[in-house]
Amino acid sequence: MKYPVHHPYSLAAEDVVLQLQTHINNGITQNEANKRVKTYGLNIYKAQKQKNLWWVMLMQFKSPIVYLLIFGAGVSLYFKDILETIAIMVVIVINALIGFFMEVQARSSMNALKEMDVMMANVIRDGKTRSVPSQELVPGDLVPLEAGNMIPADGRLVTVNRLQCDESSLTGESLPADKNIDPVADDTVVGDQKNMVFKGTSVINGNGKMIITGTAAQTQLGTITSLVESSADTVTPLDKKLNKLSRKLIWITLGMTAIFAITGFLQGKSLLMIIETSIALAVAAIPEGLPIVATVALSYGMLLMAKRNAIVKKLSAVETLGSTGVILTDKTGTLTENKIFADTFAFPTESVKVEIEDGVLKFTEGKIEQSTENFDKLLLTGVLCNNAVVNANEKNKDKPGFAGDPVEVALIQIAMAAGIDTAALTKKYVRVAEMPFNSEMMMMGTLHQTPDGYFAAAKGSVERLLEKCSSKQLGALVVDMDDVSKKEILLKSEEMAASGLRVLAFAYQWGKSIDPKNFMSGLTYVGMAGFLDPPRTDIKAAILNCRNAGIKVVMITGDHPQTALNIARKVGLIEEDNKNVITGKELPEVDTLTKEWRQRILDTAVFARASPKQKLEIADVFQENGSIVAMTGDGVNDAPALKKADVGIAMGIRGTQVAKETASIILKDDSFTSIAEAVAHGREIFQNIQKFVVYLVSCNLSEIFIVTILGVVTPAATLLPLQILFLNMVTDIFPALALGLGSGDDTVMKRPPRDPAKNIITNKKWMVIALYSTAMTTAVILAVIYCKEVLHTDDRVCNNVAFITLTFAQLFHVFNMSSNGSGIFKNEITSNKFVWIALLVCGGLTAMVFAIPAMRVVLGLSVISGKLWLMAIMISMLPLIIIQYYKAIQKKKIDNTN
């Protein structure tokens, strides 16, 4: 399929509109959009082909363990042991099937996770702006563009207002591209097509509208993407740590194998026995279910986090979350409700408090006596210098819907409550120019044409807007603005901000001829509005949880310092008497920071009037101090900081698409509480991973020790390769999976952050693993010695007793994975329903292999007496008793120390 319009950049905007049979203001109809979806297809790339299920199955045989087993089967076949050969091959297939189903389940979980993060786009159809999934966009659609938007498809610009786009991902050009609507030559390269915007790039300033000319594979990005047939799998830090662990186990096994082979050779043992036992050692060494269980645990944990309002886009973020030591958070909408309403109006001569009751404006404190003109001008300015959208409510026409910035919505609502017809007002005052809000300038302005002349409306931070004002409104009079007046206004704004209000100043300019390129000077100040955004009710507990977890929470906001301090005190971020705040104006450049300044930044919890650039620099200071930093953001200017942070967290409701694409986590409810819960869950997930890794490694090490010791002492009684494989598939994978799906203990947020540089198994954990493995090995050796020396049973019965003892010792061992501070009978393991299911399944499978004659023959088992079964199970409980006794002693020591 080709582009609907050939080289749209070389055509006039009107010609593109004509060829695509659309409308420059109303777009296409919804019915036409439905038809074009059938013609052009969905606006999505062909999903990267997932591996064919047969290929997934085949890949299960691609591992060192399988190669060793196939070698063992070949050896058995060479020595004409057909049954052994068949049994090994059956085990290979069973092992592959388990891996296959685990991988399919993990893939299914990841696909479900991806479906939760659907990119939405605004589009104008039938003359109305609506939000639709970006995949439903079609050629001819009219799409409005605002700063922070991710471009959802290729398009020809038809209107622009200071529009700039970041096209570095497409062209490699680091500077933003200025856009216009003028046609260019037919042979113009992509980087110079100033009248086009491209899928995957972003709007960083201004606004405009585009007509979609290409979707999916027919975009510039789609053309590049189609050249890439496949992409390499990403190796996460967790994968690297697991691989490092596997290599360590292999070296341990090689050492044990060498000891056994040399000893066996000197003892004159048969070559077949030496080879089979060596294979058994190799089988025992490799926890083949480890990567599978890790993937399932991560994907399951990520899905649970998504249900708790945190969509995790990168696997590595889960591990990093558990190490987070500093959270840099926004104020508005994250610590507060983001439900803005006008509370106070302050004019040069008087102030009033207001509220909306049943859709009518009420004055709750004070009344307007001298400032009627100021109030009218402020409401007029607030309505005109505004991009909020009022949508008709089909169910209740008396209660229209609103979309846009919460402050701008509040201005529209207060004007409507005052009896102003906002729709009629915007028709009368036709907007002809706009200076979009800029986080550096902290102002917004619009220019409007009326039958009587031009009207310029402006709003923004009090400090910045006063710099543009040369006069002020005093009722019906306009007088010059002097420095004394400015100081009085600033003092009043600080008083309002100190009471927790977000303060904006309003100004205007009226004239017969105003320069559209310079209408933000010589303004007349009319007054201020204070907006209230109350703290979220659940924030205090979340911040307290973070403190208990050793996590420093830092607020970085563009608001007034007093507003920031007021909210920080209300949410418990700082103490009531704490006045420590750093403003963006006083913060030095990062390359000039002294040691004292760096320490001051590290000791501060509130930053106000900070720019996005300074947010990035603050993160740098904390990272250079060795902290793992999680950072929230919602705007296009936050993208660099989100990328710089160890964990970037974007707001799902008010966040721009650029922020969402850059971040590794998206909050569906924009709440700080969800961040705290995500950190807690990230810690739980890593704790679960650590538990099942310790469990698997200790079980496998005990098998290595048992095979080596019995191979030297009583070779005929040692565990067989098939028996070890059965143990690994039953007593390893199922309990390990259960540990990976656990909810974690309730102490995860009462400990300091984990050091990310440490391995999954620390030196201390290796000592614990050695203790676990030694205890299980000792129990099995004791059972064999008792059978051989006391009961005088043959080697086959000794082997069976060793098999039963180790099976149940490993099953009981799962209860040793509880936290040291937990009780013996009531902890996160005993309360994990998956553990009990795993134990029932494993116990049933063990009984089944003894009950079915064919299985007994394959695994080298036989029918043994109930007394031997009871003896083996009793001895298998010894490691659990020993370890729990050891833990009780350690806990008592800790309690006595405290």
- What's the pLDDT tens digit per position in 752-795? 887 777 777 888 888 999 999 999 999 999 999 999 889 989 98
Spatial separation of the C-alpha atoms in residues 108 and 100, rounded to whole Å: 12
Dihedral pair phi/psi, residue 120, rounded to 5° = -105, 155
HSE toward the beta carbon, residue 358, CA cutoff 13 A = 0
Given a contact cutoff of 8 angstroms between Cβ atoms, the answer to whether 76 and 84 are in contact is yes
- pLDDT for res 398: 56
Q: Tell me the average pLDDT across 236-260.
A: 71
CA distance linking residue 555 with residue 605, whole number of Å? 6
**In angstroms, rounded to a whole number, what is the distance separating the alpha carbons of residues 413 and 461?**
21
Tokens 């090490």 belong to residue: 701
Higher per-residue confidence, 676 vs 874: 874
**What count of other Cβ atoms lies within 10 Å of the Cβ of residue 192?**
12
Identify whether the C-beta of residue 288 lies closer than 8 Å to the C-beta of residue 95.
Answer: yes
* Greatest mean pLDDT range, 305-314, 412-421, 665-674, 758-767: 412-421
Question: What is the band of 417 on the pLDDT scale with cuts at 50, 70, 90?
Answer: very high
pLDDT of 58 > 70? The answer is yes
Q: For residue 376, give every residue at least 6 positions away whose Cβ sits within 8 Å of its Cβ, in sequence order, or none.
A: none
Look at residue 773 in the predicted model and tell me its pLDDT.
93
- Cα 786 from Cα 793, distance rounded (Å): 9
pLDDT reading at 123 higher than 70:
yes
Q: From the candidates 154, 330, 638, 646, give the one annotated as an active-site residue.
A: 330
Helix (H) / strand (E) containing 734: helix 733-740
- For 270-328, write each residue's pLDDT tens digit: 776 677 667 666 666 666 556 667 667 777 777 777 777 888 776 667 777 778 899 99
Residue 822: name the closest of 810, 809, 812, 832 by CA: 832
The Cα 156–Cα 213 span in angstroms is 7
pLDDT confidence of residue 173: 63
| The predicted structure's pLDDT at residue 142 | 95
Q: Is 530 helix (H, G, I), strand (E, B) or coil?
A: strand
Model confidence band, residue 233 (pLDDT cutoffs 50, 70, 90):
very low
Distance CA 354, CA 364 (A): 5
Task: Give the pLDDT of residue 472.
Answer: 95
Span of 419-428, 498-507, 738-747, 870-879 with lowest mean pLDDT: 738-747
Q: H-type helices in 786-862, by residue range?
A: 795-813, 833-851, 853-859
β-strand pairing of 629-633 with 647-651 = parallel
The torsion angles phi and psi of 422, rounded to 5 degrees, stand at: -65, -35
DSSP states of 195-219: TEE-TT-EEEEEEEEEEEEE-GGGS
Task: Give the pLDDT score at 240.
Answer: 67
Mean pLDDT to the nearest integer, 584-601: 89
544-564 pLDDT tens trace:
888 888 999 999 988 778 888
On whether the pTM is more than 0.85, the answer is no
Confidence band of 261 (pLDDT split at 50, 70, 90): confident
pLDDT band at 479 (very low <50, low <70, confident <90, very high): very high
For 113, the enclosing helix (H) or strand (E) is: helix 82-115
- How many angstroms separate the Cα of 876 from the Cα of each of 775, 778, 808, 885? 10, 10, 6, 15
Above pLDDT 90, what percent of the chain?
A: 32
Contact in structure between 720 and 799 (CB atoms under 8 Å) = yes
Measure the CA angle with vertex 733, ends 727 and 737; round to 5°.
155
pLDDT grade for 1, boundaries at 50, 70 and 90: very low
628-663 per-position pLDDT tens digit: 899 887 766 677 778 888 888 888 777 766 677 778
Number of H helices, E strands in the chain: 31, 27
Q: Give catalytic status of residue 154 as yes or no.
A: no
Using the predicted structure, report yes or no on whether residue 119 has a pLDDT greater than 80. no
Tokens, residue 551: 């996590």
Alpha-carbon gap, residue 239 to 242, rounded angstroms: 5
**Mean pLDDT, the chain, integer:** 83
Mean pLDDT score, 372-394 = 86
Supply the pLDDT for residue 3.
55
Given a contact cutoff of 8 angstroms between Cβ atoms, the answer to whether 700 and 679 are in contact is no
Largest CA distance in the chain: 114
Name the residue with higher pLDDT: 732 or 424: 424
For the ranges 29-33, 384-388, 726-730, the lowest mean pLDDT is seen at 726-730
